[in-house]
Amino acid sequence: MRSESKLPYGYDPKIHEEYNSSYSQSNSGITQGIRRLFKDELKSIYWSESVLFKIVPKMYKEATSNKLKDALTYRYSETTEQLKRLEEVFAAIGLLPETKKCDIITGLINEVKKLIHDTKKGIVRDAGIISIGHKIEFFEISGYNILNSFAILLKEEKASYFLRKTIEEKKAAARILSKIAKSLINAESAKLEAN
């Protein structure tokens, strides 16, 4: 043990011990808080995917572009896998799947309903579906990224593995929607130039 003469000036071992003890307690509280956030966000994204699983077929029915319909069909099948993967995340952290309503997704679904009500089938409705689809994908990418960050912080490697897989799928879906949007815009521009 160090002699008192070699300790830094003003060093008090009692204060140091108290600081370490309170830091350890507060660090534990932070971990518990992050775990609670992780669980809440997981429930929210599970609810979102479950609801989107029901709305995507409606979007498909209202789309006219074959490319958009193909993308929505793919999105639907992907969502099935993503729901299963989320159930694996719940299992990995020792929970049964639960949902928690997400107001942002509720708002985006309401946008889809309003779009369908306010537009006729065709290029404008397709563009609107793509626009809202983009918003949904980017919201979900954000949600999955934060979930993955929490999983890493909490050393939930298995959960992180499943989340990363979905993040890559979401990014790919966003890229596909961007390509479809560009092709629709280019096709419409060509029609306008021809007239």
Query: Which regions of the chain are under pLDDT 70?
Result: 1-27, 186-195
Identify the pLDDT of residue 29.
Answer: 80
pLDDT digits (tens, 9 = 90+) for 31-72: 899 999 999 999 999 999 999 999 999 999 999 999 899 999
pTM here? 0.79
Structure-token pair, residue 122: 């065709």
Query: How many Å apart are CA 98 and CA 193, to the nearest integer?
Result: 52
Identify the pLDDT of residue 179.
Answer: 86
pLDDT digits (tens, 9 = 90+) for 9-18: 444 556 545 5
CA atoms within 13 A on the CB side of 98: 10
Domain annotation for the chain: domains and CATH numbers: 34-194 (1.20.1260.10)
Residue 167 near residue 148, CB atoms below 8 Å: yes
Of 172, 162, 112, 110, nearest to 137 by C-alpha is: 172
End-to-end CA separation in angstroms for the chain: 90
